[in-house]
């Protein structure tokens, strides 16, 4: 979300982001995606494979394909003065490395950031440890990136 000079727009955007996050979190819980064994089961192709994640992602992709086209017909979003659509299309070395690390971490822990934050409500030690490690990793990257300038 970008900062504007209009506090009303900022409040509407923050409210919309909060509602979207709440709906996303509820969807993760209902679909069982906050349970690491579901993710790890999906990645266990030669053991007790669990296709649940594939169906959740397929359903989300199908819904997105339809609704995105309808929503983007509007000149602006309902609660923001402008669209916030990524403009970068270049596949870079940091993107590849970051994607690889994300996938490895997801496969090892069974969490990705969204479900991990939602799972904090469980107060389980492994969830808390994962989220702390995730934030430490983000902080460490900012420190190293400022010195090495990966993205510049």
Query: Where do the domains of the chain lie?
Result: 1-85, 87-152
Provide the residue-wise pLDDT of the chain in tens; the chain has 152 residues.
455 566 666 788 888 888 988 998 898 888 888 888 888 888 888 888 999 889 988 999 999 999 999 998 999 887 778 888 888 889 998 889 889 988 888 888 888 888 888 888 889 898 899 999 989 988 998 898 888 876 55
CA–CA distance, 44 with 85 (Å, rounded to integer): 35
Q: In whole angstroms, what is the distance from residue 126 CA to residue 116 CA?
A: 10
Q: How many CA atoms lie within 13 A of 81 on its CB side?
A: 10
The token pair at 152 is 């510049």
Q: Are 53 and 42 in contact (CB under 8 A)?
A: yes
The rounded distance, in Å, linking the Cα atoms of 39 and 51 is 9
């Amino acid at each position: 979300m970008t900062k504007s000079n209009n506090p009303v727009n900022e409040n509407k955007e923050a409210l919309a982001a909060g509602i979207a996050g709440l709906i996303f979190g509820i969807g993760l819980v209902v679909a069982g995606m906050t349970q690491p064994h579901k993710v790890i089961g999906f990645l266990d192709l030669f053991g007790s494979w669990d296709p649940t994640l594939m169906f959740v992602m397929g359903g989300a992709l199908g819904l997105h394909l339809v609704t995105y086209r309808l929503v983007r017909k509007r000149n602006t979003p309902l609660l923001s003065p402008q669209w916030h659509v990524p403009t970068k299309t270049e596949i870079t070395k940091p993107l590849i490395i970051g994607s690889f690390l994300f996938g490895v971490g997801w496969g090892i822990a069974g969490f990705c950031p969204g479900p991990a934050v939602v799972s904090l409500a469980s107060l389980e030690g492994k969830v808390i440890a994962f989220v702390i490690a995730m934030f430490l990793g983000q902080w460490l990257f900012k420190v190293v990136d400022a010195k090495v300038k990966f993205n510049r």
